[in-house]
Amino acid sequence: MASWPAHLFLLLLCLVLLAGEATPQTAQPPSVDDSADRWARPGCQAKCGNVIIPYPFGIDSEHCFGKGFEINCTNGTAYLGRGPGHNIEVVDILQDTPYLQGTLIVKHYIARDCNYHNGSRPEHVSARINLTRHPNYKFSHDRNSLVVVGCDALGSISSDRESTFATGCWSYCTDASFVANGTCSGIGCCTAPIPMDLSDFRLIVNSIFNHSNSSFAPCSYAFLADERTLNFSLSSFTEYSTREKAPVTLDWAIMNQTCEEAHGTGDFACVSPNSYCVNSTNGPGYLCNCSQGFQGNPYLNDSNGCSDINECSADPSPCVKRCHNREGSYSCSCPWYMYGDGQRDGSGCRSILRILYLSLGVGLSLFFLIAIVSWLYWIYKKRKLGELKQHFLEKNGGSLRPDIRLFSSEELEAASDNYNQSRILGEGGTGTVYRGVLPDRNVIAIKKAKISNDEAEVQQFINEVEVLSRINHRNVVKLLGCCLETQVPMLVYEFVPNGTLAHHVHGEGRRGSLSLEARIRISSEVAGALSYLHSAASTPVIHRDVKTTNILLDHNLTAKVSDFGASRLVPLDQNGLVSLIRGTFGYLDPEYFQTGQFTDKSDVYSFGVVLVELLTGKKPVAKMQAVKNLATLFMECVNSGRLVEILEERVVDEGTPELLEAAAELAMRCLSLNSYDRPLMREVAMELEALTRWTRIHPWGNVNVEEGDSLLSKVGSSSPSTVLRDSVNSSIEPMAPLEIVR
């Protein structure tokens, strides 16, 4: 007896659950305002006879209708427009039917041709209708067709205003038994399509045999009609004999502008919130519709505009239990003791009682099983991960450079938001560079190589660590550390925020963005960095891939040389090394390309191409006339006295002939085909530093005429660079040595 209350409680709970599952929610009937006033502007007549007049249509006052949409209501009959010629009767304006929005139905005369053969006078009546006075309207080409009814009927339609088209069809039959009800296939009835953008037409119907072959159908008829609502039968022959007019569907639109042109203007018609604009498919203009989940008049900016549809008030409700109306949509839910999506056309709501005990037992068993397996798997993965990290650390040369910071893979994943796509700074053939933020808020650049089994790519990353760990120069991107415990090592650099030099010279909309003074200064900084690599580093370094995409600019447009994956450390007692060809086409030293032997003069040639890029703003390889190489084209222009033709316009505007000739002469020496004729990188750096100092202390734009003439006269007897160096040395103090940060 002590357990009876518990059994009673369970029994009552089961009954409640089962009752809840079996009893659907009773939906309330929808509250829909069917009055015509909700379609018209406030204070305007909303109906004419039985025709509802929705805005932009309106009657009487200009306040009540949009331009070209006036309705004349006479004796309870609606007509398009007002005055002589505006006698087209309106039957219905289809506004609240989504697939018929932008259409209305009017009446037009039926063309007829009769020959009674009983002495009665023949009838031959054509029909025409012209909408040119109503430019907002066109005959709907996708809803209307030319319909010809008769057993000897040749009907045609043409433009009454312009001879732009003509089409028609012929219907023939001899006996009423051949006429098939419900189809207009050529026996007693035929159809023909009409073109788009049709604003007027003329209908003519004739008889080829004067109806002599058909005694039961002495008349033929031609009219436009909606073929989908046409119900042709044998009775149609007599039906149209008593009718003068037939309904035809018109398309209408707000004229003269597309959605894109009208949006944002003062007369844009789609004023209701939750409305959108669509371009007309039949001639110019646009229409407005309510967005999904809303209903009303999109042309009204008040309570009668597009308002939310309360789907939950529909009968039946779209939900079987609980319905929640939302702005423009709805959602369904089930009570706590049921499960499912709650949708009437979905899985609905089902009681959980039948699976409660089973799921509880299975769930507890699975919980303990998963917990034990997960714990064992976690121990296994942690051990394997440690072994894998140690393997990669040894493979990637972790013991070679113990003096640089080693980042963990977890640190770099957190800094780059798990290598989020939005953090990508740049991508290349061997890897991707991500922007990272350390916990101390310092911004870094993470170079992550693509996963590869190529040991050469791994060695390239290790080589870059070796090179950059020995270099500390203000114009060389700083290596902060690396991560060696992943399959392919990752490098961590200082963050250089202003992108590559190539972006500033060739990027979309960036052409001409750098001043001549900035170009000379940047080239001087790059030359200084390369001079340091060649001459001042503890072990000389040859970069082997000098190009504008490997030169970064910080927020002050200070140059930073980067990407030392192809670089080589050169012992002091070796003048050149032989290797596989490495570099980028357009920047590659021709001598190195032919012999396979690279020296520091190979970097000088590549730098010469960079200097020419800065002076000309052109890419190193492009289809220009018959020449595809910028260096060759530049040398040809200089040698033929056409230097100004190839220089960028801003460079010519901001420079003087002396400065431009000096820079061009230096570039020419760097681009010498024989490496022995090229200057050393430190000589290049000194000349560019002199040019930079001269432009700062004595701007070229302020050189007086006498001084300019003096310089030009010196150019005639010696090289431009020699004249410039002599002029600089006579006007400024001796140049201080290059500042090298160690």
Residues recognised as catalytic: 545
Say if CB 292 and CB 328 are below 8 A apart.
Answer: yes
The separation between the first and the last C-alpha atoms of the chain, rounded to the nearest angstrom, is 93
Q: Are 403 and 490 in contact (CB under 8 A)?
A: no
Q: Which of 229, 167, 171, 222 is nearest to 195 (CA)?
A: 167
323's tokens: 């319905």
Taking alpha carbons only, the member of 595, 588, 601, 677 closest to residue 631 is 588
Distances from the Cα of 56 to the Cα of 96, 262, 550, angstroms = 14, 16, 62
Q: What crossing angle do the helices spanning 353-395 and 4-22 adopt, rounded to 10°?
A: 80
Tell me how far the alpha carbon of residue 99 is from its chain's centroid.
29
**Integer Cα distance of 28 and 22 in angstroms:** 19
Query: Six-digit token pair at 482?
Result: 């690396």
Which tokens is 435 given? 């922007």
Count H helices and E strands in the chain, helices first.
17, 40
Listed residue (431, 385, 426, 425) closest to 408, CA to CA: 385
289: helix, coil or strand? strand
Q: Which residue has the tokens 């910028």?
A: 630
CA–CA distance, 439 with 454 (Å, rounded to integer): 34
Residues 639, 641, 646, 647, Cα dihedral to 10°: 110
Let me know: does 45 contact 64? Beta carbons within 8 Å: yes
Q: Give the C-alpha separation, 34 to 706, whole Å.
A: 92
DSSP element (H, E) containing 528: helix 516-531
Count CB-CB contacts under 10 A for residue 6: 9
Cα–Cα distance for residue pair 118/197, rounded to 1 Å: 43
DSSP summary character for residue 98 = G
